[in-house]
Structure 1
Amino acid sequence: MADTELATVAGGCFWCIEAPFKELRGVESVTSGYCGGHVENPSYEAVCREETGHAEAVQIEYDPDELDYEDILAVFFTVHDPTTVDRQGPDVGSQYRSGVFYHDDEQKEAAEAFIEELEADGIYDDPIVTEVSPLETFYEAEGYHQDYFEKNPNSTYCTVNINPKLSKLRERFADKLA
């Protein structure tokens, strides 16, 4: 098995970002958690009260021989709206901001170039507000947040918010699915 790499992104509720990435070939694991804040070991409740500065995020462990970082970015920018400040669909608050938390300079440069290309191509009607920041610490979310869609596929939140993202993923990235 090849060495794996990590990518960390935030695009609203982590459940909505975790589920699409779990369907990709080459993804070894997807972990929901928190990053970009100023409090050690934040709880979900404190993050939701916007007391910690963290974003709900996912950390993706992937095989770069199967999937490259640009693929991660392409999926990420397809399954969330990078033009809304502190909001994704019904979820509002700074914990739902759009962000790429890079692990090294190569990821930083790739993310910045990807966003510039999206802007130049006029993909979105509004400016992209995705923050590109270094990953300082990733805190794994509580156990009940992990694999949420798999455990609760018929919940109203999942059917309304996650299923459309999965449909978009399956249509646009059929060649990348596991």
Structure 2
Amino acid sequence: MKNYKKAYLAGGCFWGMEELFRNQKGVIDTEVGYIGGINDNPTYKNHPGHAEGIEITYNETETSFKQLLDYFFRIHNPTTIDRQGNDIGSSYRSAIFFQNETEKTEAETMIKVVNNSKKWEADVVTTLEPYTQFWPAEPEHQDYLQKKPDGYTCHFERFSDSFI
């Protein structure tokens, strides 16, 4: 466990993000929840300002924060403000919750790489927000698409090739 780290990302509905990240090399665990809002103990019905996000536990000897960000920018649309698919509102914003200056710098660099690639028709609007606290979502939201394989998701791999 000494090589395990956590990353906190939000890119729309947390179900689809979790389902895609769970299968990535080096990802040990995923958990959906609320992050970046104004109330303690948020719930699905009461999470003002919180994004629907995921906590990714990964083995840094098998993958890196940069590689996770690369995948993140390929599975959701980072050019729409407060929207993914049919989901609209700040809960569905694209955000990277950095835990230190190294992660912030890597995120800034990755955004430049994505913008310079011109794969997206517009520039990235993903916010960089300092990590404060991650609140796990209710049990019915954890592993949702494992339980309901035909459930709603707006996430898919938009580009098969890496940005890096």
Superposition TM-score tier, normalisation by shorter sequence: over 0.9
CA distance in 1, matches of 2:2, 2:72: 23
- Residue 46 of structure 1 is matched in structure 2 by 46
CA contact under 8 A between 2:27 and 2:56: conserved in structure 1? Answer: yes
Structure 1 counterpart of 2:35, which letter? Answer: C
> Offset at 1:119?
1.4
Q: Give the alignment's Cα RMSD to 1 decimal.
A: 1.7
Structure 1 stretches of 4+ moved >6 Å: none
2:98 pairs, out of 98, 102, 107, with 102
- Residue 121 of structure 1 is matched in structure 2 by 117
> Offset at 1:137?
0.6
Q: How many residues align?
A: 162
- Residue 176 of structure 1 is matched in structure 2 by none
Q: Name structure 2 gaps, 5 residues minimum.
A: none
- Residue 87 of structure 1 is matched in structure 2 by 83
Name whichever structure is richer in helix by fraction.
1
2:82 is aligned with 1:65: no
CA distance in 2, matches of 1:143, 1:172: 34
2:22 is aligned with 1:26: no
* TM-score, reference length from structure 1: 0.86
2:132 is aligned with 1:139: no
Q: Name structure 1 gaps, 5 residues minimum.
A: 174-178
> Offset at 1:171?
4.5
- Residue 35 of structure 2 is matched in structure 1 by 35
Distance 1:170 1:77, change over 3 A: closer
> Offset at 1:3?
1.9
Deviation sequence 1:26-82 (CA, Å, 0-9, x none): 1110010011101111110113xxxx1100000100001101111100110000000
* TM-score, reference length from structure 2: 0.93
CA distance in 1, matches of 2:104, 2:33: 20
2:25 partner SS? coil
